[in-house]
Amino acid sequence: MGDRSASIRIGPISTCPFNCVYCQLGNIQCQTTQRQVFVSTEHIQRSLKRIDPATVDVVTLSGSGEPTLPLNLADIITCARAQLNRPVVILTSGALLGDRGEQPF
């Protein structure tokens, strides 16, 4: 795997189940475990279409907070893999990995 990453923000800024003292975001503005759709899958699909697959090695999903909060995460991963045919990396604390929500991932 190379080191060229296309970073896609799939959640709102500063939203996370935690409020770690060392967080690069500073004091978390919305501390929550409530999963919901923050950015529509269609919007992310349009963003992915602007990326040339030849220019990236991986797709990184981030949220400026916790990227497993979006309920449509499974759809987003499916879209990213289908459109770019690259591995998908999720920068997560893992706090919600046990929550299968409405759309398991």
Distance CA 47, CA 50 (A): 6
Residue located via tokens 């991932």: 105
Q: How far is the CB of 63 from ligand SF4 (least distance, A)?
A: 8
What the block records as the tokens of 67 is: 């990227």
Q: How far is the CB of 2 from ligand SF4 (least distance, A)?
A: 25
Determine phi and psi for 3, rounding to 5 degrees. -120, 20
Q: Is 66 in the site for ligand SF4 (CB under 6 A)?
A: yes
Q: Is 25 in the site for ligand SF4 (CB under 6 A)?
A: yes
What the block records as the tokens of 80 is: 């990213």
Q: Is 90 in the site for ligand SF4 (CB under 6 A)?
A: no
Binding site residues, ligand SF4, CB under 6 A? 16, 18-20, 23, 25, 28, 65-66, 93
